[in-house]
Amino acid sequence: MRVAVDIVIFTIQAGALKILLVKRKIEPYLGQYAIPGGFMHEDEDLDEAALRELREETGVTDVYLEQLYSFGAPRRDPRGRVISVSYFALISADRTLSAGSDAAEATWWSMKELPRLAFDHAKILDYALERLRNKLEYTTVGFQLLPEKFTLVQLQEVYEAILDRKLDKRNFRRKMSLLKILKPLKEYQTSARRPAQLFRFVASRFEKLKDKGIVFPF
């Protein structure tokens, strides 16, 4: 039995939720797209293997990474028994990625225009998306997809992209304001048509809300 780690890497680009896929250079599924990943080495822990694969295939080292679920159906890999320990990673849109040596091609794909995926990777991706949506409600996971300073438009875009539906702007801002987890800055984003105020996420305030059992019911 062999153990592989596979990593679903999400980002938000131009208001759309995207994931990173690599084109396979070897059999099986040569030439098809897959979630980045590979076999675990003898001397490393699972998290270490996931971080190594992420670095090798994307060039990125400092990201939000968490273990997702292990998949082990008997015929999920034509080479024999391979257990996949899957991870999900979030990368903010302002981070640059470089495809590494393992991947013939590593590219961002919109969740709405995905190619056919190798192995059971479509199933792993479904599971990752469900986890991401659930976590949006009771953790700070959404902020991992934003740069440190962001506008309210950017924040709403993250929620809309993950939930895959439009949110009412006034309602969204009212709820966010009630939560008191954003610190308004004296800085503005000036690239847009009119300057938009920048905000920072205040983690300590979020912790207090969590203790009270308050969630993000968007």
Helices (H), ranges, the chain: 46-58, 121-138, 152-163, 169-179, 203-211
- Contact between 42 and a second copy by CB under 8 A: the answer reads yes
Minimum distance of a second copy from residue 141's CB (angstroms): 14
- Contact between 43 and a second copy by CB under 8 A: the answer reads yes
Residues 171-210 that bind a second copy (CB under 8 A): none
- Contact between 213 and a second copy by CB under 8 A: the answer reads yes
- Residue number with CB closer to a second copy (1 or 14): 1
Minimum distance of a second copy from residue 201's CB (angstroms): 19
Catalytic residue among 44, 66, 105, 148: 105
- Contact between 79 and a second copy by CB under 8 A: the answer reads no
Contact residue for a second copy among 15, 28, 67, 197 (CB under 8 A): 67
- Contact between 72 and a second copy by CB under 8 A: the answer reads yes
Minimum distance of a second copy from residue 164's CB (angstroms): 16
Q: Beta-carbon neighbour count of residue 76 at 10 Å? A: 16
- Residue number with CB closer to a second copy (110 or 177): 177
Q: Beta-carbon neighbour count of residue 81 at 10 Å? A: 13
133, 162 contact by CB (below 8 A): yes
53 is catalytic: no
- Contact between 70 and a second copy by CB under 8 A: the answer reads yes
At position 159, the amino acid (one-letter code) is Y
Contact residue for a second copy among 40, 106, 146, 152 (CB under 8 A): 40
- Contact between 165 and a second copy by CB under 8 A: the answer reads no
- Contact between 44 and a second copy by CB under 8 A: the answer reads yes
- What positions carry a catalytic annotation? 105
Binding residues for a second copy, rule: CB under 8 A, are 1-3, 40, 42-46, 49, 67, 69-74, 81, 83, 85, 137-138, 212-218
